[in-house]
Amino acid sequence: MLILGRRVGDSILIEGGIRIVVVSCDRGGVRIGIEAPPELKILRGEIAQQVATENQRATANPASSAWLATLGLAPVSVDAAVSAPVDAASVAPNARES
């Protein structure tokens, strides 16, 4: 993990056209802005963990797996949920992230 000190207005550039900007800092935390190509999925870590946990819970019960199959929804493995997060637009409509 790379740890950098940044001030409001400073940015970090990442290969692939990703730019992270420090928008504000206060005692409650840091607000960051992320500019990235639209085809890139951006998801907060805690949401990815919730998806992984819910997928694990849903597939733990054979009846749940069968129900998902009848709906045409294949259960997603925990590893897949974390490595391939859901579309951020479905989490925060009209915004990539809130």
pTM summary value: 0.53
DSSP letter at 39?
A: T
pLDDT in tens, 3-57: 988 999 999 999 999 999 999 999 889 999 999 999 988 888 888 888 888 888 8
Q: 90 versus 45: which is more confidently predicted?
A: 45
From the centroid of its chain, how far is CA 68? 23
Contact 83, 43 (CB under 8 A): no
Instruction: Centre a 10 Å sphere on the Cβ of residue 84 and count the other Cβ atoms it contains.
Output: 13
- The dihedral through the CA atoms of 28, 30, 31, 36 has a sign that is negative
Cα angle 24-40-98, degrees, rounded to a multiple of 5: 35
